[in-house]
Structure 1
Amino acid sequence: MSSHISLDEFMAAILGGDSVSAAVQEGRCVSEPIGCGLPVFDTAGNLRHTMPDDAPEEYVAEWQMTGLCADCQDALEGIEDEDVKRHSRACADYSAFLDLWAEMLEQDDD
């Protein structure tokens, strides 16, 4: 028996049972406390985003990897940009996951 868990199992543990793959399959953001749980697209099929002038394809690609809708991605970037302390373990764990993911992607490029 392997002691390794899949990325989706890891995320489900952090998200209290929710997973990135479930959120993407259902067209929504991951559940709180990490995301908002809201639909990623409006009824017309457009990206739901408070700043629609940004590149929607970049947000969709990020959502497919992280499960975070465009607004939650922006909120997380704002937190990282300000370099404030994380106020919950869930946010800290998710931030660590994103850092590990970025490192893995950099290694694949080498």
Structure 2
Amino acid sequence: MTTLDEFMTALTGDSVADAVAEGRCLAAPVGCGAPVFNADGSLRHSDPDDDPEQYVAEWRLTGLCADCQDAHEADEEKAVERHTWACNAYMAHLDLMADLMTGEGE
């Protein structure tokens, strides 16, 4: 079984362990390579309403900074929306075909 760190290293040539040890995000194309913390030690992230502890915990697991975590989450939400749209369109197609086959669509 491959660990997340092994997978990321194989994919990007960068590792979660190295990114965390160096206080940065994973290198592109997965992350942005930017520092995770500001010079004063605070989390480098633009939304003050977010929980910095949650982002730091996630960064230690994934190697992704707060901004990259948000970007990947937005991408996942878009993928779910596209999947939902495709499923709904397919179901409508099946309903139409069933109506045509039973004569209800005439």
**TM-score normalised according to structure 2 size:** 0.70
What residue number does 1:11 align with? Answer: 8
Cα drift, residue 49 of structure 1: 0.4
Structure with more relative contact order (C-alpha pairs < 8 Å, separation 6 or more): 1
RMSD: 1.6
Task: String of CA shifts for 1:56-95, please: whole Å, max 9, x gaps.
Answer: 000000000000000000000001111178xxxxxxxxxx
Amino acid in the other structure paired with 1:22: D
Moved over 3 A (4+): 4-7
Find the aligned partners of 1:69 and 1:80 in 2 and give their Cα distance. Answer: 16
What residue number does 1:33 align with? Answer: 29
Q: How does 1:56-71 map to 2 (within 5 A)?
A: 56-71=52-67
What residue number does 1:102 align with? Answer: none
Q: Which has the larger radius of gyration?
A: 2
Return 5+ residue gaps in structure 1 as ranges: 86-110
Return 5+ residue gaps in structure 2 as ranges: 83-106
Q: 1:18 to 1:55 in 2, by over 3 A?
A: same
Q: How does 1:1-110 map to 2 (within 5 A)?
A: 5-15=2-12, 17-83=13-79
What residue number does 2:102 align with? Answer: none
Task: String of CA shifts for 1:19-78, please: whole Å, max 9, x gaps.
Answer: 000000000000000100000000000000021220000000000000000000000000
Q: 1:6 to 1:82 in 2, by over 3 A?
A: closer
Local SS of the residue matching 2:7: helix
**TM-score normalised according to structure 1 size:** 0.68
Amino acid in the other structure paired with 2:9: A
Count of aligned residue pairs for this structure pair: 81
